Amino acid sequence: MSRIDDSPVNSSSSDDFAAFLDAELDSVSDSSPQSEEEVEEEEEQEEEVAEEEDEEDDDGDDENCKYPIERTKRRKISFSESTQEPNGSTSHTEQEIILESVKEDICAHPGFIGGMCIKCGEKMDTDNQSGVAFGYIHKDLRLANDEIARLRDRDLKNLLRHKKLYLVLDLDHTLLNSSRMSDIIQEEGYLMNQNDPVQDALKDSLFKLPSMHMVTKLRPFVRTFLKEASKLFEMYIYTMGERSYALEMANLLDPGRVYFDSRIIAQGDCTQRHQKGLDVVLGQESAVLILDDTEPVWVKHKDNLILMERYHFFASSCRQFGYRSKSLSELRSDESDVDGALATVLKVLKQVHSMFFDPELGEDFEGRDARQMLRAVRSGILKGCKIVFSRVFPTKFQAENHQLWMVAERLGATCATEVDSTVTHVISTDIGTEKSRWAVQEKKFLVEPLWLEAANFRWERQPEEKFPVKEGKDKH
């Protein structure tokens, strides 16, 4: 038997084998010195081998795998053995051992369900779990930020192939209006009377929910709106209400689960108290539009927001927001199907969608931003108007910081603090102010602030004659 056959490489002792490898690895630095040219040549050869092996490894990987894999480079060990030949001479045989560590995947823990990694199954304490909770998709699901980014990127590509964007929809005062049964006042009693003639007109939009002690009225045009919007958008419900309420409302709006499926986000899914955020929406922000009646809850996403005119069907809703006027239910009236809030905003959504997928801009949809299209549509509403405000802002208030000033600029108007010949509109609360009198004298438009608010909600310039300024108590 030769020495090679009796070497630790062929020995049954793993400890001897490990010791042998350690000795060989250590001997690399103790070997006879090489010339500079030999060192460079060897390094180049090692780099070429490493590149070829990396290519082979890459070819074998799943192209969709985004998790880091730790690999150990191969080491080639050469050593010489002296063997006694039959004729008595001695020959030297060079042996090569290729040491290749087993490829080991280091799991990046893309997500957890119930504290267990969805990829490797490892248990992890809650304190050590990073990322965002997506309980509305699956109970106790939490996804890491890298995985969220991967899913958003993949979903966006798929959505753009179908020429769709994302649409996030608020519930209360946007798509519907709810009231507790105990808050229904006498003037609204007909709503609870099955024999009242008005029940026929309300049978598909008014729902009594005894289990929740509530009654809900769907906004006019909402069913047509959802049907049409679903052709252009993947839709989410996002409400600050409890999950049980959100699911009940989703069932009224989408009984066949055609529009929303599991994409129903409730208060418990929010990552910030009293705030809504797109961090819990698996859609790229650049492709998301939002419909909501409350702007302050979307502090980080105002550019995505289309502010809705509130739907106040019930008297309790008007009282909640301090309105003294009668509700639609008290007046036995309702919004128009043809030109109501949802019909109006559907036109805006279609316009933004058409601009986003305009074929004249090419096929690079991923490089576009729906927020820019929305901004362009909005800024054309009052383009060419120059506005001065009179007795609208509190005394000593910085005009540029007032909500109405900022609304006017978003609608494309130019705002100023003093009148001149280029001014087209004076927005005032009192016909007797100096600026109001100037507007009348110079034949400029004199309108109340509601004119600006109406343009903002209805997405078009409103007839000025419908918003005259009334006489005020004070003059200056």
- Block residue for tokens 């248990």: 123
Length of the chain: 476
Q: Which residues contact 260 (CB under 8 A, 6 or more apart)?
A: 235, 236, 237, 250, 253, 254
* Residue 106 Rama label (left phi>0; alpha psi -120 to 50; beta): beta
pLDDT at 69: 42
The angle subtended at Cα 197 by Cα 194 and Cα 201, nearest 5°, is: 90
Cβ distance 397 to 390 under 8 Å? no
Q: Which two three-digit tokens encode residue 283?
A: 């859609």
Q: Is 123 exposed, middle or buried (0-12, 13-18, 19+ CB in 10 A)?
A: exposed
- Block residue for tokens 């070819």: 59
pLDDT at 45: 61
Q: Which two three-digit tokens encode residue 56?
A: 């082979």
Whether the CA torsion 58, 61, 62, 68 is positive or negative: it is negative
> Tell me, what amino acid is at 331?
L
pLDDT at 470: 84
Computed over its alpha carbons, how large is the radius of gyration of the chain?
Answer: 35
What is the pTM assigned to this prediction?
0.77
The angle subtended at Cα 138 by Cα 133 and Cα 144, nearest 5°, is: 35
The angle subtended at Cα 378 by Cα 373 and Cα 379, nearest 5°, is: 100
Tens-digit pLDDT string for the chain (476 aa): 433 333 333 333 334 333 333 443 343 334 344 445 554 565 566 556 555 555 554 444 444 444 444 444 444 444 444 545 555 545 555 555 454 544 456 888 899 988 888 888 888 887 767 789 999 999 889 999 999 999 999 999 999 999 999 999 999 999 999 999 999 999 999 999 988 998 889 999 999 999 999 999 999 999 999 999 999 999 999 999 999 999 999 999 999 999 999 999 999 999 999 999 999 999 999 999 999 999 999 999 999 999 999 999 999 999 999 998 999 999 999 999 999 999 999 999 999 999 999 999 998 999 999 999 999 999 999 999 999 999 999 988 899 999 999 999 999 999 999 999 999 999 999 999 999 999 999 999 999 999 999 999 999 999 999 999 987 644 43
Q: Which two three-digit tokens encode residue 245?
A: 């309420």
pLDDT at 139: 87
Q: Which two three-digit tokens encode residue 226?
A: 């959802």
Say how far apart CA 347 and CA 395 lie, in whole Å: 39
Q: Is 413 exposed, middle or buried (0-12, 13-18, 19+ CB in 10 A)?
A: buried
Cβ distance 426 to 439 under 8 Å? yes
Q: For the chain, report the end-to-end CA distance as a whole number of angstroms.
A: 117
